[in-house]
Structure 1
Amino acid sequence: MSENLLLTSRPGDVKVQIQSPQPKKLTHLPERPKVDLAFSDLNYTVKQGKQDKTILKNVSGRLRSGELTAIMGPSGAGKSTLLNILTGFKTDGVRGQVLMNDKERDLSQFRKLSAYIMQDNQLHGNLTVDEAMTVAAKLKIGEKSRPEREDIISEILDTLGLIDHRTTMTSGLSGGQKKRLSIALELVSNPPIMFFDEPTSGLDSSSCFQCISLLKTLARGGRTIICTIHQPSARLFEMFDQLYTLSDGQCVYQGSTKMLVQFLGRLGLQCPSYHNPASYIIEVACGEYGNHTRKLVNAIDNGKNDVREGKPLPELKITDNLNNAEKYAHDIKNTIVASKFNKDDKNAKVYNDTTIPALPQKVLNNGVKDDHSKDDVEKANAESALLGDNAMPVKQPRYGNTELQQFFIILKRTLLFSRRDWTLMYLRLFAHILVGFLIGALYFKIGNDGAKVLSNLGFLFFNMLFLMYTSMTITILSFPLEMPVLLKEHFNRWYSLRSYYLAITLSDIPFQTIFCVIYVTIVYFMTAQPLEASRYGMFLLACLLVSFVAQSIGLVVGAAMNVQNGVFLAPVMSVPFLLFSGFFVSFDAIPVYLRWITYLSYIRYGFEGTALATYGFDRSKLQCFISYCHFKSPSITLEELDMIDSSYMVDIVALVVIFIVLRIAAYVFLKLKLRANH
């Protein structure tokens, strides 16, 4: 049965009855310990040019399990920065202490217990809801049997209202449904602490209410739910249990949302009747009613005081070096009084018209000192025992599955949505077939004509050009689009970077091989190249390796930069490889101080390999339909190209080495990018 709360913002207001969301018990989820998060004297500084800018200024606070906490503040106040620090997403430039259940937080293990749902819904659009959930379950709780995972998935989807959309493609979901799916994916492992960055961003009022109701339900299930929110409506604001407000990198309020109006009123900041308290605190923080930031920071002791309801008010200790700190302390001490609650109905709390609830104080001083009740203390002790001496559970594995199993799961997922991607799959296939027939028609039956050897060499060079750009460009365009999903899933401990990278590296090789074989087969026979299986195999191998190397360059560029820069720089960076390929100028004609570039040009090795496959290995003389053909003997052609002493095996080995080096480089760039974003 849902709970009825009778709430008013201040004496004289009309009492409004709000239906609290009914908590749903997710019985099949794995058991996890409850987590209270505390932080003390957090300071965050970033470099801006030659100067340092302080974003957070020694803020403190406490976030409790079973509560839905909102972090609010004006733009630039530092709320997203604070959330990123609490999640562990930002670690550089941070000073201060973060505690988990009153003990020092182990960041690596904390990430295993937490989930961070970012503002943008980073989902694979080519998977159905059920497929996305199945992949998440296999990766996060792979130790469970398939029936157990199915029960967990069904229960979560039913709780989040997605059970009827199991077969719907993710790209076809509404904004609110995508947000719920993002939550469902992380809820599979039942993280005891969940962070949300602007969960209502881009949603209409109805979807916003559904989203916050869901978060409220999750919190009442014993989880610690923390989210940043810009400016909620009064209806949404009432649903939050706790509010943490920042202004200019300092805490101006921490405590119950129901205590906000009374707290501000006793500081001489009276919220107008029928005015949204959430909007009012933002207006105060922005300075619309004068500069009251110092007063609020002193009153709340920059987050060390915690305004809670229903407990006697201890003496407020406002420790600040500001000149008027004592004055503020005196004002607050003499104006805030305790209140009485109507305890006749356990399901209702009615504020007395003449008194206001007491504002208890919680102090964080190199730890968390909390005036818990006896039940709270027993609960905390039980959680501490569960979490062990290091404030963490018994050493958990970093991921929910082995790296080998992760590799196969990600590989299967990648193959699935690659098959459904029109651009990545069918457009590439169409392009290879179309260009293959076009080139075959243009260079029709010139391969055995001694008078058209130069045209045939142009055909060989164009092969390299086409395979290079099709392989490289599609990777540059598609791989950066994977980065946001990778950042989210890797940060939330779905899988290791090694498993992911190996899976995506191998996933496209079969498709690229098929496309290349189709294209090469079409052009090879239409242009009447030597009809020998060995020469065809050598020609195809060189073309395949060139396409794989070009694809690797696309991975390096995609991992190192964004799409806009990559699409421009990759072709520009390829120009030296084309110039020194041996087609435009022979090796002997290249200046000595530039010859080293030819050894780096994979186009040179590919072009040389196909030329040797076509004209090398003692090929018989070509046909000549005119009186004189200078290139009738294949050896003359190789001599003109300065390839008479070249080795096909050297070309193949060089391409393989370049391929391996580039794949390793792409992995390194990807790892550095993840570190930079974390």
Structure 2
Amino acid sequence: MATDNLLLKTTSTDVKVQIVSTPKKNLTHLPKRPKVDLAFSNLKYVVKQGKTEKVILRNVSGHIRSGELCAIMGPSGAGKSTLLNILTGYKTEGMSGQILMNDADRDLGQFRKLSAYIMQDNQLHANLTVDEAMSVAAKLKIGDKPVHEREAVITEILDTLGLIDHRKTMTSGLSGGQKKRLSIALELVSNPPIMFFDEPTSGLDSSSCFQCISLLKTLAKGGRTIICTIHQPSARLFEMFDQLYTLADGQCVYQGSTNQLVPFLGSLGLQCPAYHNPASYIIEVACGEYGDHTRKLVCAIDNGKHDIREGLPFPEFKVNDGLNNAEQFEKDNLNSLIINKLAKGSSNSSNGTNNILSDSYNNHDLKAAVSDGTELEKVNVNSALLNNAMPVKQPRYGNSEFQQFFIILKRALLFSMRDWTLMYLRLFAHLLVGVLIGALYFKIGNDGAKVLSNLGFLFFNMLFLMYTSMTITILSFPLEMPVLLKEHFNRWYSLRSYYLAITISDMPFQTVFCIAYVTIVYYMTAQPPDMQRYGMFLLACLLVSFVAQSVGLVVGAAMNVQNGVFLAPVMSVPFLLFSGFFVSFDAIPIYLRWITYLSYIRYGFEGTALATYGFDRPKLDCFIKYCHFKKPKTTLEELDMHNSSYLVDVLALVAIFFFLRIAAFLFLKWKLKSNR
């Protein structure tokens, strides 16, 4: 609500107080977008459960108008979340029926560019501030605008949503209601004309619930189409909704304005008790607490084909076993709109069907505005952001994929630097283990009597780098999935840009950690003091850590954290067994030797062994009478590596690295599709 400023003017005779109203907060800087009305006919959704099929939605129909706040209600298991997911385009498989956008067949690709889906859980990056999160969203969604215009949009949205004082607050420090408003603010940057909300009041107290629904009401009055599922709102919240769509057992039992619900039920002999919440009553009726009336309600509303509006007579009750086709559905809705216009006594003349439709919506918006005079100015200003034109072809993303890559990369780097586990704990582990291993194998690298111990040191390097790189990725990458699902579905960026940025973002840190570890252990264990050998040793270790990180990406993209943490070490056992440390290559049975060519640990171990003992290294020091491994060539012969090539090892690791990165991308693409 707007506040008033008091200006005091003092003279010698009296004191005059002048009250000046401050201007209302309006969203005037958002990009203009077309209005979108949704209609659906005979929607059916079937899921497979083993060999049987379960019908979730049973040929439901409906019509949702722009400028209205629509609630989808129903008992648990009624199909309201499924209906919302189908309307958003989040679920497409297993669905049949017709969905119209502005009286034309919906183009799902174009529709997704005009809509936003705010899911029940607030999927936010915890290590970003509100200002940083909004800046990233603005760059990705409206990156073609100048910087000062983007900043104006951000400031305006945060001010309108009551987050202007929390710009520097980490999202993890926001309350539940503030997180919900931030989720809305992030999507509001591109001014989507249609917005979907899954249980927006879930987990909020009564005051936060009222603020959230009030915000959605304001957005709807600006000409947007706002659709949300809600379980059982209070009477106060229920009155704020313009339209109600109620489901029971996958069928529509009511569709129309909320203030016509009680009279409609009364016409069917279902009298809502005085001082009883109508929302609770319709849920109780749908659950069968007053008898089985589902069939009667479904037939009365014709499974959503009838729209109960103020000024229209209730449809004649009749049992209709069949369902109208899509053409009849469009005709019914058109007739309903014409009758509605005539019933309101509109004096505007119309030239054809399109004018009738447009005038009907305009009258409805005007009525909503007049009903609350305090919001009239806000409605008029916000409506300027939306026009009645049919949606033209929208760009797929708000920025080029090249720019998306750098924006996401910058965000990922910032996120990593603020993450204690990803950064400081991992750095501490590498330094601590490096000093510990250096002390354990202190100065054994040039001792001919301790070659076997030095080979153990080389193998442990592979083991340590493998598990640290792989495990941290398995633990962290799946945590990105919920955010990725939301942002990618809402067309923030392409999957290619995201994947390339997220895979590259950790490589600099892993490189620094690996260099720190290898430098400590290499010189503490007295390996050959040759920069060329040190470089070869380091390169092999780096490639192993990158490949292990790729394995973590594959596992993290393909499965959840619990399964990944268990299966990844188990799947690594064959790579360790066939690494050449436990069994030399010539001792492996012929029918199992092919596994060694898949073991990246083998190539890393072989590369470090060649860097240490190959390339004509001089004889080792020996402080006992007989040293079998005094000649480095003997060590390589025992390991069956005397004919091996360091270049082949490097090329093999590089090939495995790219293969796994491509596989991780394909798994990620498959998982995004399967989750929907």
Report the TM-score when normalising by structure 1.
0.88
Partner of 1:233: 234
Candidates 450, 459, 462, aligned match of 1:461: 459
CA contact (8 A) 2:446 2:621 kept: yes
| Aligned residues between the structures | 616
CA distance in 2, matches of 1:543, 1:364: 66
2: CA distance, partners of 1:318 / 1:418: 63
Among 434, 437, 447, the alignment partner of 1:436 is 434
Question: Secondary structure of the equivalent of 2:337?
Answer: coil
Is 2:312 the counterpart of 1:364?
A: no
Q: Report the Cα offset of residue 393 of structure 1.
A: 2.7
RMSD after superposition = 2.1
Q: Which residue does 2:316 correspond to in 1? A: 316
- Taking the aligned partners of 2:546 and 2:666, their CA distance within structure 1 comes to 18
Opposite residue 251 of structure 2, the aligned amino acid is Q
For 1:134 and 1:367, locate their aligned partners in 2 and report how far apart those are by CA, in whole Å.
46
SS at match of 1:645: coil
Query: What's the CA shift for 1:25?
Result: 3.0
Paired residue type of 1:85: I
Preserved CA contact (<8 Å) 1:24 1:217:
no
Q: Which moved more, 1:22-31 or 1:473-482?
A: 22-31
Partner of 1:615: 613
- 1-side partners of 2:618 and 2:337: how far apart? 95
Confirm or deny that 1:93 pairs with 2:70: no
Q: 1:562 to 1:496 in 2, by over 3 A?
A: same
Is 1:402 the counterpart of 2:368? The answer is no
Structure 1 unmatched ranges of 5 or more = 3-21, 326-361
Matched residue type, 2:173? G
For the Cα contact (< 8 Å) 1:306–1:363, is it kept in 2?
no
Residues 121 and 367 from structure 1, CA distance in 2 versus in 1: closer, same or farther, beyond 3 angstroms?
Answer: farther
Amino acid at match of 1:591: P
Residue identity in the other structure for 2:96: R
| TM superposition shift of 1:319 | 5.8
SS at match of 2:301: helix
How far does the alpha carbon of each residue in 1:54-97 deviate from its partner, in whole angstroms, 9 at most, with x for none?
A: 00000000111111000000000000000000000000010000
Provide the secondary structure at the position in 2 that maps to 1:371.
Answer: helix
Q: Partner of 2:9 in structure 1? A: none
CA contact (8 A) 1:25 1:221 kept: no
1:555-570 counterparts in 2 under 5 A?
555-570=553-568
Contact 2:540 2:608 (C-alpha < 8 Å) held by counterparts = yes
1:433/1:518 contact within 8 Å kept: yes
Q: Which amino acid is the alignment partner of residue 337 of structure 2? A: D
Q: What do the CA deviations read for 1:89-118 (whole angstroms, capped 9, x no partner)?
A: 000010000000111000001000000000
User: What secondary structure does 2:181 align onto?
Assistant: helix
1:321 shift after superposition:
2.1
> Does residue 379 of structure 2 align to residue 378 of structure 1?
no
Shift of 1:316: 3.2
Instruction: State the Cα distance separating 1:24 from its structure 2 match.
Output: 5.3
Aligned to 2:14: none
Say if 1:197 and 1:227, in contact at 8 Å, map to a contact too: yes
Cα gap change, 1:392 to 1:378, in 2 (>3 Å):
closer
- Equivalent in the alignment of 2:148: 147
Quote the offset at 1:394 in angstroms: 2.7
Among 532, 550, 553, the alignment partner of 1:552 is 550
The structural deviation recorded for 1:365 is: 4.2
Q: Give the structure 2 partner of residue 118 of structure 1.
A: 119
Query: Secondary structure in 2 aligned to 1:122?
Result: coil
Tell me if structure 1 keeps the 8 A contact 2:35–2:390.
no
How far did residue 677 of structure 1 move? 1.9
Deviations 1:320-346 (A, max 9, x none): 128xx9xxxxxxxxxxxxxxxxxxxxx
Output one character per residue of 1:255-310: Cα deviation in whole Å (capped at 9) or x when no partner.
Answer: 1111111111111111111111111100100001100000100110000011111x
Identify the residue that residue 197 of structure 1 maps to in structure 2: 198
CA contact (8 A) 1:109 1:392 kept: no
Indicate if the aligned counterparts of 1:40 and 1:366 stay in contact, CA closer than 8 A: no
**Contact 2:300–2:319 under 8 Å retained in 1:** no
TM-aligned CA distance change 1:559 to 1:23, over 3 Å: farther
Aligned-partner residue type, residue 490 of structure 1:
H
Per-residue CA deviations over 1:107-135 (Å, capped at 9, x if unaligned) read: 00100000000000000000000000000
* 1:510 pairs with one of 497, 508, 516: 508
| Structure 1 residues 595-634: aligned runs within 5 Å | 595-634=593-632
SS of equivalent residue, structure 1 residue 99:
strand
Aligned match of 1:132: 133
Contact 1:432 1:515 in 2 (8 A): yes
Q: Which runs of 5+ in 2 are unaligned?
A: 3-22, 363-383
Per-residue CA deviation, residues 237-263 of structure 1 (Å, 9 max, x unaligned), is 111111000000000000111111111
Q: Report what 1:285 is aligned to.
A: 286
> Residue 640 in 1 paired to residue 626 in 2?
no
Given residue 320 of structure 1, which amino acid in structure 2 is its aligned partner? N
Letter in 2 for 1:561: M
Cα distance, 1:525 vs. partner? 0.2
Matched residue type, 2:653: L
Query: Distance between the aligned counterparts of 1:193 and 1:23, measured in 2?
Result: 24
Quick one: percent identity of the two aligned structures? 81
What per-residue deviation string (whole Å, max 9, x for no partner) do you get for residues 478-530 of structure 1?
A: 00000000000000000000000000011011000000000000000000000
Matched, 1:677 2:669: no
- The code of the aligned residue for 2:395 comes to P
Give the alignment's TM-score, normalised by structure 2: 0.89
- The equivalent residue for 1:579 is 577
The residue type equivalent to 1:121 in the other structure is N
TM-superposition CA deviations, 1:210-258 (whole Å, max 9, x none): 1001101100111000000001111111111110000000000001111
Equivalent position of 1:446 in the other structure: 444
The change in CA–CA distance for 1:582 and 1:367 in structure 2 (over 3 A counts) is: farther
Aligned positions of 1:166-315 closer than 5 A: 166-309=167-310, 311-313=311-313
Q: In the aligned structure 1, how far is the partner of 2:457 from the partner of 2:227?
A: 61
Q: Structure 1 residue 658: deviation in Å?
A: 0.1
Question: For each residue in 1:524-547, what CA deviation from the matched residue of structure 2 results, as whole angstroms up to 9, or x when unmatched?
Answer: 000000000000000000000000
User: 2:603 is matched by which residue type in structure 1?
Assistant: Y
